Amino acid sequence: MIPDQVRGVFESTELEAFKLISPLRYRKPWELLWKSISKGNVCVAGDALHPMTPDLGQGGCSALEDGVVLARCLGEVLLRNSSKKSEKLEEEYKNIEMGLKKYASERKWRSFDLVATAYVIGFIQQSHNKVLSFLRDKFLASFLATWVFKKADFDCGKLTNN
């Protein structure tokens, strides 16, 4: 049951207000290789970095990988320079920028690999082409399963407590 106040908000809101502000856009996997995911002290992570179909089951895992790698990259540059008590805000900004650039360079290829693999696996699994369906069902099934399982084996590096 929906509370009367919530129902009232929806009923009194014009339908035009529910339109998307910006249109959704499909990003091809190879755009990860040509475009930067980091600029200044801002970067993208999670689904914004690697939107993928659920064919690999790696969406949540790759977001956790992002968190570990981001923490490690930022931690390395911030801890390395934390002994300088008189560090200016501008220097701290540069340190954060360096950490984000390192994160971006480490995650670019892994993200591309996951997104492209999900795209290919999804294309093969959902194909209605008779030849591709035959090959998938008779020959590719065991290969694809092995390929998918290998994607889960990734080392994010160690977080230190220095």
Could you count the other beta carbons within 10 Å of the beta carbon of residue 38? 19
Strands 42-43 and 38-39: antiparallel
Q: Which residues have a Cβ under 8 Å from the Cβ of 69 and sit 6 or more positions away?
A: 103, 106, 107, 156, 157
Mean pLDDT over 87-100 rounds to: 86
pLDDT level of residue 117 (50, 70, 90 thresholds): confident
Structure pTM? 0.73
Between CA 111 and CA 36 the distance in angstroms is: 13
- What's the one-letter identity of residue 8? G
Q: Are 93 and 41 in contact (CB under 8 A)?
A: yes
Residue 41 pLDDT: 86
